[in-house]
């Protein structure tokens, strides 16, 4: 995916992304980091064609994303937003079946493949027991997992996750991150996600994009780019960067 000179403003005309120019490496996990309001979700919105930039373009497999028909794009990329709303009373399974829509001809029933994918997605997100439960009866974290399951059922080569670990307890945070790692390694998915936990980003990403004020400050391998200086520049926080033979690299924030 090529991101070419993207400039974006919402209706208030304040520029939120300034000439973003980079690329997403296929088959890898890329994590976008940065402080609140730095433009991470806005960039994700542009990369997934949910927001139309005033300038620039996003090229996916050789074609500008705005040229894709909606169903064609939905077979290429799945998105889990930060906030998701489903009609009240909808069951988990029904939501996850929505992920199969791009793969079905109009007015056809679910086939074997749809059922297999939905069951697999529910198993992978630990929701198989809850498949017939209404979404409203689930906890915030379980609902988050249901939306991830829907995106998995969509069976796309690109998966975009905006803070997939938000609202999850630490066990399920790692469960989701391990799932992301496996999907990348075993299924060859290209994953772009937004995280707030810098150590999780270091541990689970092939590449990190660090943003501030709508600009990319650095993009590269976590080992190369996560430094004391970068953390100070991006977050205004003092950190100590540690490197442990068993644990790998990690940071310890020590204050502002």
Ligand X SMILES: Nc1ncnc2c1ncn2[C@@H]1O[C@H](COP(=O)(O)OP(=O)(O)OP(=O)(O)O)[C@@H](O)[C@H]1O
Shortest separation between residue 80's beta carbon and ligand X, angstroms: 14
Shortest separation between residue 122's beta carbon and ligand X, angstroms: 28
Sign, CA torsion 102/105/110/111: negative
Is there a contact between 67 and 107 (Cβ–Cβ < 8 Å)?
Answer: no
Per the document, the length of the chain is 256
Position among 30, 31, 38, 190 found at the interface with ligand X (CB under 6 A) = 38
Should residue 218 be labelled a site residue for ligand X when binding is judged by CB under 6 A?
no
Is there a contact between 143 and 62 (Cβ–Cβ < 8 Å)?
Answer: no
Phi, psi of 109 (to 5 degrees): -80, 165
Shortest separation between residue 225's beta carbon and ligand X, angstroms: 18
Beta 2-9 vs 55-60: how paired, if at all?
antiparallel
Should residue 34 be labelled a site residue for ligand X when binding is judged by CB under 6 A?
yes
Stretch that binds ligand X, among 18-26, 39-47, 107-115, 153-161 (CB under 6 A): 39-47
Q: Which is nearer to ligand X, 10 or 171 (CB)?
A: 10
Tokens (6 digits) for 32: 């976008």
Shortest separation between residue 36's beta carbon and ligand X, angstroms: 3
Position among 42, 49, 154, 205 found at the interface with ligand X (CB under 6 A) = 42
Which residues make up the interface to ligand X (CB under 6 A)? 10, 12, 16, 34, 36-42
């Amino acid at each position: 995916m090529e991101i070419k000179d993207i400039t974006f403003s919402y209706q208030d005309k304040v520029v939120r992304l300034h000439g973003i120019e980079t690329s997403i490496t296929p088959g890898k996990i890329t994590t976008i980091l940065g402080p609140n309001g730095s433009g991470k979700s806005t960039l994700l919105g542009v990369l997934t064609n949910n927001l139309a930039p005033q300038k620039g373009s996003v090229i996916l497999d050789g074609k500008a994303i705005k040229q894709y028909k909606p169903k064609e794009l939905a077979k290429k990329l799945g998105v889990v937003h930060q906030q998701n709303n489903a009609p009240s009373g909808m069951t988990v399974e029904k939501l996850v079946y929505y992920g199969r829509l791009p793969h079905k001809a109009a007015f056809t029933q679910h086939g074997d493949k749809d059922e297999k994918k939905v069951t697999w997605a529910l198993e992978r997100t630990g929701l198989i027991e809850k498949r017939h439960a209404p979404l409203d009866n689930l906890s915030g974290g379980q609902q988050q997992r249901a939306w991830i399951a829907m995106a998995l059922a969509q069976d796309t080569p690109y998966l975009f996750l905006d803070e997939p670990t938000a609202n999850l307890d630490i066990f399920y945070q790692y469960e989701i991150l391990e799932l992301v790692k496996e999907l990348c390694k075993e299924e060859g998915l290209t994953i772009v996600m937004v995280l707030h936990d810098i150590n999780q980003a270091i541990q689970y990403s092939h590449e990190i994009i660090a943003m501030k004020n709508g600009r990319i400050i650095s993009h590269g391998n976590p080992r190369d780019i996560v430094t004391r200086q970068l953390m100070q520049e991006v977050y205004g926080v003092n950190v100590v960067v540690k490197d442990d033979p068993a644990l790998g690299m990690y940071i310890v924030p020590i204050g502002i």
